[in-house]
Amino acid sequence: MSPPSAAGRKTAPHTIRAACEALARIAPPQLAQSWDNVGLLAGDPDAPLRRVLCCVDLTPAVVDEAIKGKYNLVVAYHPPIFKPITCIRADGHGTEALVFRCVAAGIAIYSTHTALDAAEGGTNDVLAELCGVKETEPLEYVDEPGREQCKLVTFVPSGQLDRVANALFEAGAGIIGDYTHCSYRLAGGGTFLGGESTTPAVGKRGRLEHVEEIRIETVVDTCNLAAVVRALRQAHPYEEPAFDIYPLLPAPVRGIGRMGMLPKPITLAQLARKLKKGVEAGHVLIVGPGNRSVSRAIIVVGAAGSLPLTKASPDEQTVIITGEIRHHDALTIERHGCCAIALGHWTSERPVLDSVAARLAEALPGAAIELSRADAEPFRMI
């Protein structure tokens, strides 16, 4: 099914760049696996956009459809440019020939792939919803994309605290989201003994001094650290101010895969039939006895490989739901005492396109966002 489109009415003057920005919000490229190739793969970001075609695979039939329908952008889940290529020719035998045809027709290409797998509301969340799983955890967490930060800690006499703090803030410290001037302060005591060459701001050299100080700590973007330290030295009353710099690890965010509890125990065969209907699969394969009761699901669209076994500690009540399973992975799943459902690689990924198209339509009012009719499962049953 396709979401409501703008066919038949005047469309708004969007650009490819606007669509790319919307797609980056839906599937942040930073969440993609390191080996992947996502984002705008071909096209002019400033070209006008009125029609978008969404598909899993950029096949010759999909390219024909895009050209005939005068689409400006194809959003292909799988990247047609994956490994490095040396040329893009019309007479090529790989996907580079498809890319050539799109570029020649003025059609941009954007890929989401594993970024959409990890994103909230992405491929795995859509499949989890079809299973009835409401609360999920990812199979792995990834570092939150964004700026590199550190924490700066210094110690200031209470009388000069505001002066030093304001200097730090003006130099770029203390920014957390939309908040500025962020710091934590704690009262304590410091000691020092100045040598013969010192000129201490408090007390006398050659004598052990005890000073009431305030510990102030604040976050700093690494790119601003030099300026902040310079401001600290200039504003601090001490001849040699003490300060510490701690690198901060980024906060973890949800990565690929999902796992959670099913609404109630169900047999493997019953769940397989439910999912077969939900994803409109021609057939599904199961690993394990169909009468086994399962209560926990591990979901990895496409090809799960060994990820569920290494990340989620499956047991006899766990079912792995994925697209395709290699023979030896199926044997390993059996040895672990759990079971699995294979929906088909393409079939497991296709359901997310409805959600992507609907979210794009909301972000690009007036543009026609449609699902490809030519995009299809490459395997046929006989």
Q: What is the DSSP track for 255-299?
A: -S-EEEEEEEEEEHHHHHHHHHHHTT-S--EEES-TT-EEEEEEE
Q: Read off the DSSP letter of residue 12.
A: P
Give the C-alpha separation, 289 to 270, whole Å: 11
Q: What is the pLDDT of residues 18-49, one digit of tens each?
A: 999 999 999 999 899 989 999 999 999 999 99
Asked, for residue 3, whether it belongs to a domain, the answer is no
Q: Is the same domain home to 38 and 67?
A: yes
Sign of CA dihedral 71, 73, 78, 80: positive
Q: Is the same domain home to 263 and 133?
A: yes
Residues contacting residue 194 through CB under 8 Å, at least 6 positions apart: 200, 203, 204, 205, 206, 207, 209
pLDDT surpasses 80 at 342: yes
Q: How many CB atoms lie within 10 A of CB 212?
A: 11
Q: Is the same domain home to 134 and 260?
A: yes
- Give the orientation angle of helix 225-235 with respect to helix 161-170, to 10 degrees: 150
Collapsed DSSP state (helix, strand, coil) of residue 372 = coil
pLDDT surpasses 80 at 6: no
As a dihedral over the C-alpha atoms of residue 20, residue 23, residue 27, residue 28, rounded to 10 degrees, the angle is 40
Asked, for residue 380, whether it belongs to a domain, the answer is no
Instruction: Report, as an integer, the average pLDDT of 277-289.
Output: 95
Q: Whose CA is closest to 32, among 72, 82, 88, 86?
A: 82
pLDDT surpasses 70 at 257: yes
Asked, for residue 100, whether it belongs to a domain, the answer is yes
Band of residue 146 on the pLDDT scale cut at 50, 70, 90? low
* Two tokens, residue 160: 């000069």
Q: What pLDDT does 144 receive?
A: 63
Give the C-alpha separation, 61 to 243, whole Å: 64
The residue segments making up the domain with residue 341 are: 123-141+255-348
Asked, for residue 99, whether it belongs to a domain, the answer is yes
Q: What is the pLDDT of residues 102-123, one digit of tens each?
A: 999 999 999 999 999 999 999 9
Q: Is the same domain home to 133 and 223?
A: no
Q: Is the same domain home to 169 and 137?
A: no
Average pLDDT over all residues of the chain: 92
Q: Is the same domain home to 241 and 105?
A: no
Q: What is the pLDDT of residues 46-63, one digit of tens each?
A: 999 999 999 999 999 999
- Count of structural domains within the chain: 3
The CATH number linked to 356 is 3.40.1390.30
